[in-house]
Amino acid sequence: MKEKYEMKCAGIKEILSQYIDGTLEDRERVAVEEHISMCEKCREELDSLRALVQELGALEPVKAPSDFLEKIHERLAQPSFPKRLFRKLFVPFPIKIPLQLAAAVAAAFLVFSIVTLQREEREILQMSKMSPSKEGTKKAQFDPVAPAPKGEQQHPGGFPQDPMKKRSHETREVVELVLLVERAGRSGLNERAVSLKAAPATEEDVREERTDSTPRRKAMIRKAPSRSAMEEESFVEGVGITSPQASRESGLKDETGIPSSPVENLSSALENLVVQNKGNILRVAYDSASGRLDSVLAEIPGQEYEAFLKKLAHLAPLRVLSPAPSDKPREKVRVRIRLLSSHEGHP
Amino acid sequence: MSKEEMNGELKRIDSADQDILLVKAFLGGDRVAFDKLVLTHKDRLYNLVSWFLGDDEDSNDCAQEIFIKVFRSLNRFRFESTFSTWLYRIAINTCKNRLKSSAYRKKRKTVSLENPGPPQGDGEEIQDDSPCPFSRLEKKERVLQIRRAVNSLPEEQKRALVLRDIQGLSYEEIRDLTGWNPGTVKSRIARARVELRNRLEGKI
**DSSP, residue by residue, B150-199:** HHTS-HHHHHHHIIIIIS---HHHHHHHH---HHHHHHHHHHHHHHHHHH
* Cβ partners under 8 Å of residue B197, min gap 6: A48, A49, A52, B204
Same fold, B1-124 and B131-204: no
Residues 6+ apart with CB under 8 A from B106: none
CA A202 – CA B70 distance, rounded (Å): 77
Q: How far is A57 from chain B (nearest CA, A)?
A: 6
Interaxial angle between packed helices B31-53 and B83-100, expressed in degrees from 0 to 180 and rounded to the nearest 10: 50
Identify whether residues A335 and A215 lie together within a single domain: yes
Euclidean distance between the first and the last CA atom of chain B, given in angstroms as a whole number = 30
How many Cβ pairs within 8 Å bridge chains A and B? 94
| CA-based nearest distance B126→chain A, Å | 7
Nearest-by-CA chain A residue for B39: A69
* Architecture in CATH of B131-204: Orthogonal Bundle (1.10)
One domain, residues A245 and A181: yes
> For each successive 10 residues of chain A (347 residues), what is the average pLDDT?
60 92 91 91 93 93 92 85 68 61 85 78 57 41 40 40 42 75 49 40 43 40 38 35 41 37 65 86 80 83 86 84 64 85 52
Nearest CA in chain A to B194: A49
Distance from CA of B53 to the nearest CA of A (A): 13
- Residue length of chain B: 204
| Interface list for B 5-44 with A (CB within 8 A) | 35, 38-39, 42-44
| Predicted local confidence at residue A256, as pLDDT | 34
pLDDT for A115: 81
Nearest C-alpha neighbor of B192 from the set A17, A47, A12: A17
| Contact (CB, 8 A) for A270 and A196 | yes
Whole-number pLDDT of residue B6: 63
Q: Does some domain include residue A181?
A: yes
Q: What is the ipTM of this complex?
A: 0.82
Nearest-angstrom CA–CA distance, A305 and A218: 26
Q: Are residues A231 and A94 in the same domain?
A: no
Window 43-72 of A: residues touching B by CB (8 A cutoff) are 48-49, 51-53, 55-57, 59-66, 68-69, 71-72
Instruction: For residue B35, give the nearest of A23, A65, A69 by CB distance.
Output: A69
E strands, chain A, where? 153-154, 160-161, 174-181, 235-236, 240-241, 280-286, 293-301, 318-320, 332-341
Nearest to B84 by CA among B148, B154, B7, B170: B170
Residue B98: closest CA among B87, B85, B107:
B107
Same domain, A252 and A293: yes
Per-position DSSP letters for A161-218, written without gaps between them: E-HHHHHHHHHH-EEEEEEEE--SSSS-----S--B--PPPPHHHHHHHHH---HHHH
* Facing B68 at nearest CB: one of A17, A59, A75: A75
With residue A219 as reference, give the H or E element that holds it: helix A215-220
| Cis bond before residue A82 (omega within 30° of 0) | no
State whether B186 and A17 contact (CB < 8 Å): yes
Distance of alpha carbon B157 from alpha carbon B192, whole angstroms? 5
Considering the domain architecture, whether residues A124 and A258 belong to the same structural domain is answered as yes
Residue of A40, A32, A37 lying closest to A8 (CA atoms):
A32
Q: How many angstroms separate the CA atoms of A60 and B129, rounded?
A: 12
Whether A104 and A176 share a structural domain: no
Which SS3 state, helix, strand or coil, does residue A160 take? strand
Domain ranges across chain B? 1-124, 131-204
Enumerate the residues of chain A whose CB falls inside 8 A of the CB of residue B196.
52
* A192, A264 contact by CB (below 8 A): yes
- Helix (H) and strand (E) counts for chain B? 9, 0
A203-260 residue pLDDT tens: 444 444 444 444 444 433 333 333 433 333 333 333 333 444 444 444 333 333 333 4
A60 contacts in chain B (CB < 8 Å): 126-128, 143
pLDDT band at B69 (very low <50, low <70, confident <90, very high): very high
Residues A270 and A122 occupy one common structural domain:
yes
**Residue B55 or residue A15, greater confidence:** A15
Q: Do A17 and B189 touch (CB under 8 A)?
A: yes
Q: What is the pLDDT of residues A64-101, one digit of tens each?
A: 999 999 999 998 887 766 777 676 666 665 555 566 77
On chain A, the residues whose CB falls within 8 A of the CB of B186 are: 17-18, 23
Instruction: Report pLDDT digits (tens) over B140-190.
Output: 888 999 999 999 999 999 999 999 999 999 999 999 999 999 999 999 999
- 3-state DSSP helix/strand/coil % of chain A, to nearest 5: 55, 15, 30
Q: How many angstroms from the chain centroid is the CA of residue A186? A: 28
Determine the distance in angstroms separating the CA of B91 from the nearest CA of chain A, rounded to an integer.
15
Angstrom distances, CA of residue A329 to CA of A297, A304, A305, B10: 20, 11, 11, 104
Contacts of A75 in chain B (CB under 8 A): 64, 68
- Closest Cα to residue A336, out of A236, A209, A210? A209
Pairwise CA distance, residues A271 & B66, whole Å: 81
Cβ–Cβ below 8 Å for A52 and B127 = no
| Residue A240 located in a structural domain | yes
Q: Is A140 helix (H, G, I), strand (E, B) or coil?
A: helix
Estimate to the nearest angstrom the gap between the alpha carbon of B129 and the chain centroid: 24
Tell whether A346 is covered by a domain.
Answer: no
CATH architecture of B1-124: Orthogonal Bundle (1.10)
- Decide the pairing of beta strands A293-301 and A280-286: antiparallel
**Which of A12, A21, A62 to substitute to test the interface with B, most B CBs within 10 Å?**
A62
Q: Is A347 within a domain?
A: no
Measured from the Cβ of residue B137, the count of other Cβ atoms closer than 10 Å reads: 12
Calpha distance A226→A323 (Å, rounded): 29
State yes or no: pLDDT of B42 exceeds 90.
yes
Which residues in B lie closer than 8 A to residue A72 (C-beta atoms)?
38, 64, 67-68, 71
Q: How confident is the prediction for chain B on average, in pLDDT?
A: 83
Which residues 6+ apart lie within 8 Å of B173 measured at CB? Answer: B85, B163
Half-sphere exposure of A257 (CA within 13 A, CB side): 0
Residue B73 to chain A, least CA–CA distance (Å): 13
A59–B43 C-beta distance less than 8 A: no
The verdict on A46 and A95 lying in the same domain is no
Residue A97 in domain: yes
| Domain limit, last residue, from A21, A37, A58 | A58
* Residue A18 vs residues A259, B149, B183: alpha-carbon distances, Å: 109, 22, 11
DSSP state of B102: H
Instruction: Say whether residue B165 is in contact with chain A using an 8 A CB cutoff.
Output: yes
User: Model confidence at B128, in pLDDT bands (50, 70, 90)?
Assistant: low
Count how many domains chain A has: 3
**What pLDDT score does A132 carry?**
44
Question: Is B204 an interface residue toward A (CB < 8 Å)?
Answer: yes
Q: Do B189 and A71 touch (CB under 8 A)?
A: no
What does the pLDDT read at residue A245? Answer: 44
Q: Domain range holding A268?
A: 118-341
Q: Which of A309, A318, A326 lies closest to A342 in space, CA to CA?
A: A318
Contacts of A236 (CB under 8 A, 6+ apart): A195, A242, A247
Question: What is the pTM (predicted TM-score) of this model?
Answer: 0.50
Q: A143 and A21 in one domain?
A: no
Contacts of A55 in chain B (CB under 8 A): 146, 204
- B194 pLDDT band (50/70/90 cuts)? very high
Q: Is the CB of A7 inside 8 Å of chain B's CB atoms? A: no
